[in-house]
Structure 1
Amino acid sequence: MHVSILITMFLTGLILGFIGAGGAGFIISLLTILFGVSIHTALATALTAMIFSSFSGAVSHYREGNVSIKAGITTGIIGAAGAWAGSHVSAHIASSELKWLTAGMLMFSAFLLWLRMFLLQKQSIQAKTLPFGPRFVTRSLLLGIVTGALSGMFGIGSTPFIQLGLMILLGLSVRQAAGTTMMVIIPIAIGGGLASFQQGTLDLGLLVEVVIGTMSGAYIGAKFTNRAPVSLLKSSMIAVPIVASLLLIL
C-alpha cells in the first residue's frame, strides 16, 4: 500500500462526494502527474474506481434525500452500454492524443456547467416534476448513451454532462442532480470497468488504493452537500473539471 496515494485519494473523495462527482477525470490527472501512472492505466483504474466511490456517495446522498431513483436507474442502465463501447474505442487512441482529448473534454464540461448555472441562470433550487411516459424514457436514454460513451472513451465520469442533463432534461434541482449523478455513474463505471479488464489495462493493486481512499472520503463529503450554500456547490462543480484539465496539460 502506498500511503501517499491513500491520503491523496481520501482528500479527493471528500471533494467528489461534496459535489456529487465520480471524479475519474480528476483522479486520472492526479495519478499521471503525481504518481507517474500511464494515461491508459490511470483511465481504466479511475473509471473502475468510480463504481465504489460513487456507490458510497450515492448511499449518503440517498439518506440526505438528494436522489431521484427513477431518473438514476433509467439513465444509468443505458449509460453502462455506452461506457462499454466507449472504452473499447479509447484503447485504440494514442496516449498523447488521449491525454489532450480528456483534458479538452473536462474543460468543455466545465464551460457547459458555467453556461447553464451562471449565464442562463435558469436553475432552481427546488426540483420540478419529472417528465413522464415516452418523453421521460427518450430523454433518459439519450442522456445515458451520450454520457456513458464519453465516460468510457475519455475515462471521465461525465459528471458535469450528467448533472446538466438531469437539470435541463429531467428538471432536477442542483442538489438532486448532484446526488442522482452518483447513482447514474455506478452502472457507467461498471460498463467501462469491464471493458478495461478485457483490454488488460486495469491495475488491480492501484485500484484497491484508489477505492479505499475515495470511497471513505466521498461518504463524508456527501454529508456537506445540503449544508453548503448553493453558490458554493455550483462553483465547486465547475472548478473541479477545470483543475483536472489544467493538471493534465501542464
Structure 2
Amino acid sequence: MIFLAMLIMGAVIGFVGAGGAGVTIALLTLAFQVPIHTAVAVALAAMTFTMLSGAYSHFREREVEVPTGLAMGLGGVMGAFIGANVSNLLPAPFLRTMTAIMLCASALLLYTKVYQAEWLSRRFHPRQELLTGGKLYRLGIITGMVNGFLSGAFGIGAAAFIQITLMVLFGVSLLKSIGTCMMIILPMSAAGGLGYFFTGHLDLWIFIQTLTGQAIGAWFGAKYTHLAPLPLLRFAIVATPTIGGLSLLLM
C-alpha cells in the first residue's frame, strides 16, 4: 500500500517539479501511521536519490554555479547532520507541528514567487553580479548551515528558501538557481538521512517502497508537465505543499 501511494505521490512530484519531502512525511504519518521521526528520515533519504538525477542533468546543461553550490552545500551538510540529531531529541508532537509550519511557510513563499513575482522583485532586489571570493564561502557556509539545519531537523527540502537565497544574496540567475539548488540539496539530504540512520529512525523497508514508488511515478508525472495548462501547473505547485502542511497541522 505504501508503494502504491508513493507511486501516485511520485507522479504529483514529477508533475510539479518539486522534491516533495514534506508531502511525503504528511502521507506517511497520516495515511500509514508511520512515526514522525521515521517519516522524516525516509523522506530525506529518498530525496537524496531524487536530487541526484536532477542535479546531474542540470550540471550537464551548464545550469549550475559550482562554487556557490559547493559553499552552500558544505554548510548544508553540517547543518543537516546537526539538525537530524537535534530532531531526535524533539518530542513527536512538536516535531510534527514544526514540520507542518515549515511546509506552510514554503507554500507561502512559492505562492509569492508564482503569483506575486512583481511584488517580490520590488521588495527583494536580486544581486546583479555573481558573488565571488572569500565572502562567497563565508556567506555560503552560514546560509547553507541554516537551510541545512531546517532540512535535517524538520525533513523539508527547503528548495524555495534556497532559491531565494541564491538569487538575492549570491547573484545567481533564476535558471541557474534551480540546478544549483538541486546540487545543494543533494549532500544536505544525504547528511540528514545519515543522521537519522545513525539514530535508528530510518526504516529500510519503508524507504525502499517510498523511493521505488516515487521514482517510477515521477517519471510518468514529468511527461505531463509541458502538456498541462499553465494555470493548472501554477496551482499544483502551490497546492501540493499547502495540502501537506495543513494536513499535518490540522488533522
Q: Normalization by structure 1: what TM-score?
A: 0.84
Q: Which amino acid aligns with 2:181?
A: T
Q: For 1:235 and 1:127, locate their aligned partners in 2 and report how far apart those are by CA, in whole Å.
A: 28
> Where does residue 209 of structure 2 map in the other structure?
209
Aligned to 1:160: 160
162-171 vs 175-184, greater mean Cα deviation: 175-184
Distance 1:225 1:82, change over 3 A: farther
- Matching residue's letter, 1:31: L
How far 1:223 sits from its partner (Å)? 7.7
AA of the residue aligned to 2:77: A
Count of residue pairs the alignment pairs up: 246
Amino acid paired to 2:195: A
**Residue from 68, 73, 90 that aligns with 1:71:** 68
AA at the equivalent of 1:171: G
SS in 1 for 2:121: coil
CA shift at 1:213, angstroms?
Answer: 2.7
Conservation of the 8 A alpha-carbon contact between 2:51 and 2:182: yes
Contact 1:5–1:209, Cα closer than 8 Å, also in 2: no
Question: 1:110 corresponds to which residue?
Answer: 107
Deviation at residue 154 of structure 1 after TM alignment: 0.6
Q: Distance in 1 between matches of 2:182 and 2:63?
A: 10
Unaligned runs of 5+ in 1: none
CA distance in 2, matches of 1:51, 1:44: 11
- Kindly indicate whether the alpha-carbon contact (under 8 Å) linking 1:23 and 1:159 is maintained by their aligned counterparts in 2: no
Q: Which amino acid aligns with 1:137?
A: Y
TM-score, normalised via structure 2 length: 0.83
SS of the residue 2:39 aligns to: helix
Partner of 1:66: helix, strand, or coil? coil
Q: 1:83–1:152: 8 Å Cα contact kept in structure 2?
A: yes
The answer to whether the 8 Å contact 1:54/1:218 transfers is no
Name the CA distance, whole Å, in 2 between partners of 1:7 and 1:138. Answer: 41
Q: Deviations over 1:26-75 (max 9, x none)?
A: 11011112222121110111011111011122223334443222222221
Match of 2:140 in 1: 140
Distance 1:183 1:228, change over 3 A: farther
Listed as ranges, the gaps of 5+ residues in structure 2 are none
Query: How far apart are residue 168 of structure 1 and its match?
Result: 1.1
In structure 2, do the counterparts of structure 1 residues 11 and 193 end up closer, same or farther at CA, with 3 Å as the change threshold?
A: same
The answer to which of 199-208 and 106-115 deviates more is: 106-115
**Are the aligned partners of 1:116 and 1:122 in contact in 2 as well (CA < 8 Å)?**
no
Structure-1 separation of matches of 2:149 and 2:48: 16
8 Å Cα contact 2:2/2:210 also seen in 1: no
* Structure 2 residue matching 1:121: 3-state secondary structure: helix
Aligned to 1:172: 172
- Distance in 2 (CA, whole Å) between partners of 1:194 and 1:78 is 16
1:248 equivalenced with 2:248 (yes/no): yes
Q: 1:48-127 maps to which residues of 2 (within 5 A)?
A: 48-115=45-112, 118=116, 119-122=119-122
Q: Which residue of 2 is the match for residue 14 of structure 1?
A: 14
Q: What one-letter code is carried by the residue in structure 2 that aligns with 1:248?
A: L
Residues 57 and 219, structure 1, Cα contact 8 Å, conserved in 2: no
Identity of aligned residues (%): 40
Go from structure 1 to structure 2 and tell me whether the alpha carbon gap of 1:81 and 1:45 turns closer, same or farther (over 3 Å shift).
Answer: same
* RMSD, aligned α-carbons: 3.2
For the pair shown, which has the larger CA radius of gyration, 1 or 2? 2
1:131-167 residue CA offsets vs partner (Å, 9 max, x unmatched) = 1112222221122100000011111111111111112
- Partners of 1:223 and 1:172 in 2: how far apart? 28
- C-alpha distance in structure 1 between counterparts of 2:148 and 2:5, whole Å: 27
Identify the residue that residue 194 of structure 1 maps to in structure 2: 194
With over 3 angstroms needed to count, the CA separation of the structure-2 counterparts of 1:229 and 1:167, relative to structure 1, is farther
